[in-house]
Amino acid sequence: QGSNLELHYNDQYIRLRADENQSSGYPLSLDIHEFSLGTLSAIAIGQSQLISGTINADFRLQSQEPLAMEGQARIDSFTLIGKTVGNLSSSIRQSPESGMDFQVGIDQFGNNTQVKGNYQSSESKLDMTVNMHPLNLSPFGFLLGEFVDSFSGGLVGDLRIQKMKDDLELTGNVGLD
């Protein structure tokens, strides 16, 4: 009940707060303001150059049983191993009635990609759309390592992914530009 933790550096902070008035400590809040991913990377794995960007986020955990939470995050100028991927945004809402609604987007730096969906864990049911107009592939060339000197272009297309228990259905089209 009523616990608080804050990591603070200049105008950057990460705050974790539990409700002072509830014995359960819920809702539990996480707020991140203008925090450097390079700093987080240095803390977590000792590498400040692996990733960079600035994250702003807020999440609220209302309860664990049943799971109820919501939140959003944005990373401006997300960079991975020196290559700028774009601005990343995400939102999530989990409730016992509607399951988990989620959205992830990448924009700027040659990207216009959105992923939206709903997951019902009780039924193991997923309904998701992926819209890439385009998804810039050049920042991901490092995944191909020594096999490719340079990597450019993008993925363009629309996909729908549906899963019910063990059955997976994938419809749509994807091309390279």
What pTM was estimated for this model as a whole? 0.85
> What is the token pair recorded at 2?
């009523």
The helix or strand, by DSSP H or E, that contains position 94, with its residue range, turns out to be: strand 83-95
pLDDT at position 53 is: 95
Q: Which residues contact 162 (CB under 8 A, 6 or more apart)?
A: 126, 127, 128, 168, 169, 170, 171
Q: What is the mean pLDDT of the chain?
A: 89
**25, 27, 24: which is closest to 2 by C-alpha?**
25
Instruction: Write down the pLDDT at residue 138.
Output: 85
Mean pLDDT lowest among 9-23, 125-139, 160-174: 9-23
pLDDT in tens, 19-46: 877 777 788 999 999 999 888 777 777 6
Q: Please provide the size of the chain in residues.
A: 177
Q: pLDDT value at position 92?
A: 97
3-state secondary structure of 55: strand
Tokens of residue 92, six digits: 């999530």
Reduced to 3 states (helix: H, G, I; strand: E, B; else coil), residue 64 is: coil
Helical H runs in 26-155?
37-45
Could you read off the pLDDT of 107-144 as tens digits, one per residue?
999 999 999 999 998 888 999 999 999 999 888 877 77
**What pLDDT digit, counting tens, does each position of 113-122 carry?**
999 999 998 8
